[in-house]
Amino acid sequence: MNPEIIQNIADVEGFSLLGIAPAISPQGYPELLRWIEDGFAAEMNYFADRKEAYRHPNAVLDGVRSIITLAYPYPASSSTGEKQSMTGKVARYASTGSDYHDVLHPKLKRICREITDQAPESKNRGVVDTAPLMEREFAQLAGLGWIANNTLLINKTLGSYFFLASVLTSLELETSIPHHTTHCGTCTACITACPTDAFPEPGRLDAGKCISYLTIEHRGSIPRPLREKIGDWVFGCDICQEVCPWNRKPSRRNSQAKTADEPTFSLELPRLFLMDDEQYRKAFRKTPMWRPRRRGMLRNAAIVMGNQGDPSALTSLKLGLHDAEPLVRGSCAWAIGNLQFAPGRTILLERKSIEQEPAVVEEIDAALNRFPSEFSANQS
């Protein structure tokens, strides 16, 4: 099959880059196993559960011979750029509110149909980060870029502001020239800028410390030592990309992506505390914010409010302190303690008098202990 046919339809579908890699065992597979064994996958057990499947792309498509690797640019933000009171920052890949899986899967299906029309005997499957496929390894093998110190794929022209997608095919296509070189040099901006020290060494990520993991994938309470370091990030994080020189140089940045100097999309936080489960579902079911569910987003919102120091946040945090979810109540208790405004102590004491969940009581006690002693004396 002529690769130009695939390139043409990929161009029509809006993909910025295309490369073809052979369907072989990825060179980085042993490092993936070491990463899992070292506990750096945190609670993402699906890596360990499917670790054998990552060994070869045959596990994703039986009989695969070639992997068409594609890059799709991050969307332009719909943000006005005006910083509102009590808002949380959202990672730029989610800035439009659309789930990128819903955007990319139909495009991949159309590419697969075109290949099938041209080669009816072929088997084809499109995937976007949910199959056990080491996408970045194959993207590098397909010449799209190199795996950087922050573990993301970087392209000299696009930087790292793009999604990776793949089409696996049983056809044996002409492969691209691999990207053998790396271009991070001595730069460690991404490593030093990470507020939670999520990179134990260049090219390795400890997911359990990553703000993106903590605010999206993590289901439980966020460890206390990391809460203040989350800052304003209510969903995801872009810090290690924002500081990257390959994203900051205008001549090497795709015009469809947000620049490092543009404001990141933000989410109004108080309205989240006014939503019940059904209202949250209606508002966010088709967006990336559905991934952490309502309880996870309110946990994140509480932590961000606790970090911002706005006394008007107490209204929402008091509401969250009476939420049905213990995770939300505990996070709100911490946030109130972090704000240390005098009315917050009364709010915490009132809740403690009726709280039945031991973990939440412990959070309330820890929060109360953070208030200056004169607050206690004035209210005794």
Question: In the chain, what are the domain boundaries?
Answer: 3-74+99-169, 269-380
CB contact set of 225 (below 8 Å; sequence gap of 6+): none
When computed from its CA atoms, the radius of gyration of the chain, rounded to whole angstroms, is 23
The enclosing H or E element of 267 equals strand 266-268
Closest-CA residue to 129 (of 189, 216, 196): 216
> 173 with 3: CB under 8 angstroms?
yes
Contact 359, 330 (CB under 8 A): yes
Q: Which of 181, 158, 353 is nearest to 256 (CA)?
A: 158
CA angle 230, 33, 108 (to 5 degrees): 75
Measured distance CA(239)–CA(77) in Å, rounded? 17
Total residue count of the chain as it appears in this document: 380
**Nearest-angstrom CA–CA distance, 357 and 271:** 25
pLDDT < 50 regions, the chain: 78-81, 251-264, 377, 380
DSSP, res 37: H
Q: What is the pLDDT of residue 95?
A: 86
**Residue position matching structure tokens 């793949």:** 166
Structure tokens at 341: 């405004």
- Nearest-angstrom CA–CA distance, 136 and 146: 8
Q: What is the pLDDT of residue 80?
A: 43
Whether 71 and 15 have beta carbons less than 8 Å apart is answered as: yes
State the Cα–Cα distance between residues 174 and 113, nearest whole angstrom: 20
pLDDT of residue 144: 98
- β-pairing, 266-268 vs 87-90, is antiparallel
CA–CA gap between residue 144 and residue 19 (Å, rounded): 6
DSSP string over 268-322: ESGGGGG--HHHHHHHHTTSGGGTTHHHHHHHHHHHHHHHHT-TTHHHHHHHHTT
List the one residue out of 233, 221, 237, 239 whose CA is nearest residue 329: 221
Q: Which of 129, 197, 277, 365 is catalytic?
A: 129
Give the pLDDT confidence score for residue 292 in this predicted structure.
Answer: 97
CA-CA distance, 45 to 47, in Å (whole number)?
5
Query: What pTM was estimated for this model as a whole?
Result: 0.92
What is the per-residue pLDDT across 37-94, written as a single tens digit (0 to 9) for each? 999 999 999 999 999 999 999 999 999 999 999 999 997 654 444 556 699 999 999 9
Torsion of CA 248, 253, 256, 261, to 10 degrees: 10
What does the pLDDT read at residue 21? Answer: 98
Q: What is the pLDDT of residue 250?
A: 55
CA atoms within 13 A on the CB side of 335: 35
Please confirm, yes or no, whether 129 is among the known catalytic residues: yes
Structure confidence by residue, pLDDT tens digits, 11-32? 999 999 999 999 999 999 999 9
The packing angle between helices 342-352 and 358-368, to 10°, is 150
pLDDT of residue 298: 98
Beta partners for 267? Answer: 88
Q: What pLDDT shows up at residue 232? A: 96
Residue type, 118: Q
- Domain 269-380, second-level architecture: Alpha Horseshoe (1.25)
